[in-house]
Amino acid sequence: MHTGRGDATKRAKTRARIAVSADSSDSSCGFCVGDDFERFSQVDDVFSRSRFDPEIHDEKADRFYATYRRPLAEWRPARGFGQNDYAFRNAAWHVTDIFAEMYEGEDRRDGFLDPLSMLRDGAAERHDLGSPQRAAQLLKHAAGAAGADLIGVTAYDHRWTYTERFSVQSGGAKPNDLPDDLDNVIVIGQAMDSTLIDTAPSALSGAATGMGYSHDAVVLLTLAQYIRNLGYQAIPSMNDTALAIPYAVKAGLGEYGKHGLVITPEFGTSVRFGKIFTDLPLAHDRPVRFGVKEMCDICNACSKGCPSKAIPDAAASNDRHNKSNLIGVKKWTIDGEKCFNYWSKINSDCAVCVRACPYTRDYTLRRNRAWQRLAASPLRRLALWIDRREGGGARRQTEDWWPPE
């Protein structure tokens, strides 16, 4: 199980061998942003479109969302999709759903379309924490105590903020109001339970995602209130307001992978990200490089394993599959429409790409830390061979996850 808690010393051994970039420029992050770049509207996000766009929205999409909110009269007659599996999955999402549904009557979905709501005021006067370096040190210490598995800090970048938010009530756009003086972004990473991810695709693997989001919400709200109690602004955000992946890379939490996700040194792809926009002066972290791009160039595990064929086994490019992709960024890009259509078919999120990725390992084990160093070397093809020889990415049957009688 990847929890990240109680194994800080072992995880530090992995991170100690990671190369840190000299700055946080686009080139250091591995970003290739062209002159034709356009900021993204959340209205065009595939999950937003699944609620109104006839190219995606249908009865299956409605049923997909309904399965997270209420029991079905009939459960899927397939392994991993029984009532017990769905019951645990929906329970794992329960904390997140409380926040998401709290202000639905006001056209808000906290954590997904709007920032998490803060219910208490902070201090009227600012408390001086000393230098930005000292402030970052204190923040990270508090974050660890609050349950954050990963934390990094970077500068606010207007390019990754949504031009507009999505309104469920209108099926269109609504303003994305973010104060202009929030210069820093704190990125939080929450590890997902890899034993659940190993069962993907299943309702059980959806429980890993739900717990990741639920932990994310609790940690983000705790840290945001801590910052507000010091007299500074703090806006906690999950999927809303801005793209999380560019910020996670800029904050030094990992590298961008072929499957369109961030691969971290500590947990591979098995991690969820949240962010806090703040004016608290903080020292910034820098991007890291540990051979992910070079490995993804020769690996096709996610592309081969993807049930919906949404992940092309191709070089990075500016190609767009549909309106849910960014304009003007040269990168690996997945087809979100194919991905979501498969989710609505199986009535659960998928996560096969997370399971299949060779980097999804338990790095508290010395042999897996050694594997990561090999993957970062010119012998990375040997690392791939070892992963396949060991049966890396193999699916675990859900009945094997539940304890025997």
Mean pLDDT (10-residue bins), the chain, 405 residues = 44 62 81 94 96 93 87 70 89 94 94 94 94 97 95 96 95 93 96 93 93 95 98 96 96 96 95 97 95 95 95 92 94 95 92 95 91 95 95 90 90
Rounded Cα distance between 404 and 160, Å, is: 47
Give the Cα-Cα-Cα angle 339, 340, 344 (nearest 5 degrees): 125
For residue 396, how many C-alpha atoms fall within 13 Å in the half-sphere facing its CB?
A: 17
| Helix 203-229 / helix 83-92 crossing angle, nearest 10 deg | 10
- Asked if 202 contacts 78 with a C-beta cutoff of 8 angstroms, the reply is no
Residue ranges with strand state E in 49-109: none
Q: Which helix (H) or strand (E) holds 370?
A: helix 366-375
User: If we measure between CA atoms, which residue out of 279, 191, 277 comes closest to residue 242?
Assistant: 277
Q: Where are the domains of the chain?
A: 8-401
Give residue 75's pLDDT: 64
| Helix 94-101 / helix 83-92 crossing angle, nearest 10 deg | 50
Rounded Cα distance between 74 and 271, Å, is: 32
Rounded Cα distance between 4 and 219, Å, is: 14
Rounded Cα distance between 202 and 351, Å, is: 9
Angstrom CA distances, 257 to 85, 116, 402, stand at: 29, 28, 31
- Asked if 324 contacts 56 with a C-beta cutoff of 8 angstroms, the reply is no
Torsion 190-264-136-23 (CA) sign: negative
Tokens 């399971």 correspond to what residue? 355
Give tens-digit pLDDT for 136-147: 999 999 999 999
Give residue 17's pLDDT: 64
DSSP 331: B
Write down how long the chain is: 405
Q: Which helix (H) or strand (E) holds 200?
A: none
Amino acid present at 19: A
β-pair partners for 186? 153, 276
Give tens-digit pLDDT for 354-365: 999 999 999 989
Buried b (16+ CB within 10 A) or exposed e, 97-117: bebbebeeeeebbbbbbbbbe
Integer-rounded Cα Rg, in Å, for the chain is: 20
Burial of 30 (0-12, 13-18, 19+ CB in 10 A): middle
Q: What is the DSSP string of 220-236?
A: HHHHHHHHHHTT--EEE
